[in-house]
Each structure stands twice: as C-alpha cells, then as structure tokens.
A and B are shown apart, each in its own frame.
Chain A
Amino acid sequence: EVQLVESGGGLVQPGGSLRLSCAASGFTFSRHWMTWVRQAPGKGLEWVANIKEDGREKFYVDSVKGRFTISRDNANNVLYLQMNSLRAEDTAVYYCARNIAYSWECWGQGSLVAVSS
C-alpha cells in the first residue's frame, strides 16, 4: 500500500525554524517527483515546492523562496521541508504528495504548522 506520513509540525515563534519530514512507503520513492502543498486554516490549497527524483532540481512558490528548502533522502525514502524565518502567514497544514502526470494522486494526512508568539 502506498503511504505518506508527515511529521515534525508544531507551534513555533515568528522567525523560528522547523523541519517537516514525510516518510514514504509502498512504492519506489526514487522514481517520483515529490511535492509539498499547504493549506492555511479555512483557506485553499497552495503549491509550495517540488523536487525531482534525484534531488537535483527544486522549485518553489515565490513567497517561500530563500526561506524554505525541499530535500530528499532516497536511501531512506524520506522527503523534507526545512522552513526558516517563519511568518504568521506560513501557518497551515502541510501535505506531502507524490507526483504523477503533473498531478498528485497520493497525499499524506498533513502536518500542522502554527507560527505564533
């Protein structure tokens, strides 16, 4: 069974850092682009970042460029999102998702990140 499980969310102060992890199982992780999507409370979905199969190409939404870093460990089937200089507007549920045909057919359950003093 294909499964994605996020962890690492929590409450952090503005300006702080947090690293999200997404453990993948049930498929060949190294053969898929992977993506982070977020959803602020009561709001819509927002694409955040994605990373190529080998980790050599990474792309970000403008609002997180220079602050967030997506990475992956293909040996251990884990996707990461390092979030620095966090702002209140980064408060959201963060989902990891597996890419297929420029869409996402497998999603994690989400990890809540709350940025507040």
Chain B
Amino acid sequence: QSALTQPASVSGSPGQSIAISCTGTNSDVGNYDLVSWYQQHPGKAPKLIIFEVSKWPSGVSNRFSGSKSGNTASLTISGLQAEDEADYYCCSYAAGSTYVFGTGTKVTVL
C-alpha cells in the first residue's frame, strides 16, 4: 500500500496545457482501469474530476482529461485557468478491495 508517485509541483501560464503523471505498480495502476483524479482547493473537500482513467463526472469541464499507459496514469489540464490552481491527487483501486492515493501535485498558474 505505498502511495502512487506524483510530481510535487507543476506550473503553467493561462491558456497553456499541463500534464501530471501518477506512477504505480502492477498491483494497482497497471492492473486496473480504475484510476480517478481529484482536485482540492485549500480548506475544501476533494472534488472528483476524472474516474475510470478517462471519464468525466457530470458537470466537470472537458478541459480535464485522463489517460493511462502501463503503470502510469496522467491528467492533462488544457487551457489552464486561474481557478485550476489547486492540489491534484490520483487514486487507484488495488488488490483486496483497497485503494491507494498519489502523493499529490500542487498546480500553480503563473
């Protein structure tokens, strides 16, 4: 149950695209197409933005997109906006009906 690995920080200018990686193992990310992504603003509860690797919950902007290759999942934010500045976490279903989160990435809009 080791945390998935994410970059500590990613930054970009308004309008640009950025990508956040999420690296796990054959026991979690690599074995299930059950990666989700969460956005968290300071002092707030997390918000689901991607589930099952690349699907959008109702009401979430399609500027957020997800993908996966092998043991690494990725979140891309297109057309970066000021309101996208937040912490982002990936999460994967793992063996034995457990889950593991990523270490988290702070996104800064320059």
**Residues of chain A whose beta carbon lies under 8 Å from any beta carbon of chain B:** 35, 37, 44-47, 50, 57, 59, 61-62, 95, 100-105, 107-110
Partner of A110, one of B45, B52, B93: B45
Is B109 located at the chain interface by the 8 A CB criterion?
no
Q: Find chain A residues with CB under 8 A from B36 CB.
A: 102-104
The 6 A-B pairs with the shortest beta carbon distances in the complex, nearest first, are A103-B36, A103-B51, A107-B45, A47-B99, A44-B104, A102-B34
Shortest B94–chain A CB gap in Å is: 9
If A103-B48, A103-B52 touch, does A44 touch B103 (CB 8 Å cutoff)?
Answer: yes
Question: Would you call B101 and A46 a contact (CB within 8 A)?
Answer: yes
Query: Cβ of B45 and Cβ of A45 under 8 Å apart?
Result: no
Cβ-defined contact, B3 with A44, below 8 A: yes
- Give CA–CA (A100, B34) in the complex, Å: 11
Contacts of B52 in A (CB 8 A): 101-103
Query: Measured between C-beta atoms, what is the minimum distance from B107 to chain A in Å?
Result: 14
Chain B residues whose CB sits within 8 angstroms of the CB of A101 once the complex forms: 51-52, 55
Q: Which residues of B contact A57 (CB under 8 A)?
A: 97
Chain B: interface residue total (CB-CB under 8 A): 27
Per DSSP, chain B at the interface is: strand
B100 — which chain A residues lie within 8 A by C-beta? 47
The answer on a CB contact under 8 Å between B96 and A59 is yes
Bound complex: CA of A109 vs CA of B102, how far in Å?
Answer: 21
17 contacts between A and B (CB under 8 A): A37-B46, A37-B101, A44-B3, A44-B103, A45-B38, A45-B46, A46-B101, A50-B99, A59-B96, A61-B1, A62-B1, A100-B51, A102-B51, A102-B93, A103-B52, A107-B47, A110-B45
Q: Contacts A102-B34, A104-B36 given; 15 further ones with Cβ under 8 A? A: A45-B101, A47-B101, A50-B97, A101-B51, A101-B52, A101-B55, A102-B36, A102-B51, A103-B34, A103-B91, A104-B38, A104-B48, A105-B51, A107-B45, A110-B45
